[in-house]
Structure 1
Amino acid sequence: MGKAGKALKRVLETYNISQNRLAVTMGLNRSTVYQWFNEITDPSAESVTQIIAALEQLNEAAAKEFVLLYLGRIAQPEPEQPED
């Protein structure tokens, strides 16, 4: 399976966040998080954004690390270009 499950597993273990706690924060069944965590299924793009939002509520550093592991970089907004 994909990169999201690996990133999620590492972050939850590193920051001592249980699968159940993430599931409750996201309003999901624990089995869904279990499937991502164990790379049985991949989260959808929409679910990835929900994972990030839930991790931000639980531990901001965990959310940043998830984004870094998943995307390979920290997402930064594009700087605005001055108009000519």
Structure 2
Amino acid sequence: MGKAGKALRQVLEKYKISQNRLAVTMGIGRSTVNQWFNESSDPSAEAVTEIFAALETLNPIAAREFLTLYLGRPILGDDPS
């Protein structure tokens, strides 16, 4: 599967954000987050932006790291060091 699931798993584990907490914040079922987390399905492009927005609410640093991992490069404004 795609990069989104891998990035999501890394960020949720690193920042100790539960799948349920992300799902509640996004207003979706935990099973959907679990499918992304376990890479059994890929989130749509729209869902990736919603994941970012939810993570930004929960932990802005986690949100930026998710985006960096998903894009495979630092996002604009991030210090490359």
TM-score (norm 1): 0.88
Q: Using the TM superposition, give the Cα deviation of residue 72 of structure 1 relative to its aligned residue in structure 2, in angstroms.
A: 1.4
Where do 5+ consecutive residues of structure 1 fail to align? 78-84
Q: What corresponds to 1:46 in structure 2?
A: 46
Q: What corresponds to 1:56 in structure 2?
A: 56
Amino acid at match of 1:25: T
Two-structure CA RMSD over aligned residues (Å) = 1.1
Matched residues, number: 77
Q: Using the TM superposition, give the Cα deviation of residue 3 of structure 1 relative to its aligned residue in structure 2, in angstroms.
A: 0.6
Q: Which runs of 4+ in 1 moved over 6 A?
A: none
- Give me the identity figure in percent: 71
Larger radius of gyration: 1
Alpha-carbon distance in structure 1 between the residues aligned to 2:5 and 2:27: 18
Alpha-carbon distance in structure 1 between the residues aligned to 2:74 and 2:64: 7
TM-score (norm 2): 0.91
Alpha-carbon distance in structure 2 between the residues aligned to 1:12 and 1:63: 10
Describe how 1:1-84 pairs up with structure 2 within 5 A.
1-76=1-76
